[in-house]
């Protein structure tokens, strides 16, 4: 019985669209995060002086610190964006498909 329901859900055209939409959204967000991290690492590796300049004259805080903090905060925000969309749009669509398949 359960296998039949799972097969109906997996075969549902809206479920396949949902899976593709969710995968595409997750990949785009992951690409943004990876681009930020790799850009930061490549800057540190190949242009170390770029982030070593002080933010303001007479201060010991270099540009590397705010850029690093920005990357970390951005990662949390992008994760929050995914979770919000997953808990609303994706879950609602998933629930609709499940109920439709359970009704027959």
Cα four-point dihedral sign 29, 83, 88, 21: positive
Residue 30 token pair: 């992951």
pLDDT tens by residue, 13-63? 999 999 999 999 999 999 999 999 999 999 999 998 999 999 999 999 999
Q: Is the pTM of this model over 0.85?
A: no
Cα four-point dihedral sign 84, 90, 93, 98: negative
Q: Containing domain of residue 83, as a range?
A: 2-103
Residue 42 token pair: 């490549």
pLDDT tens by residue, 57-69? 999 999 999 999 9
Reading phi first (left if > 0) and then psi (alpha if -120 to 50, else beta), residue 63 is in alpha
Give how many domains the chain has, as a whole number.
1
């Amino acid at each position: 019985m359960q296998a039949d329901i799972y097969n109906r859900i997996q075969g549902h055209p809206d479920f396949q669209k949902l899976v593709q939409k969710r995968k595409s959204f997750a990949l785009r967000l992951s690409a943004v995060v990876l681009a930020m991290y790799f850009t930061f690492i490549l800057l540190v590796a190949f242009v170390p002086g770029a982030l070593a300049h002080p933010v303001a004259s007479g201060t010991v805080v270099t540009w590397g610190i705010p850029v690093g903090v920005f990357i970390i905060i951005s990662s949390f925000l992008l994760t929050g964006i995914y979770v919000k969309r997953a808990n609303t749009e994706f879950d609602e669509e998933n629930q609709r498909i499940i109920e439709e398949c359970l009704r027959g």
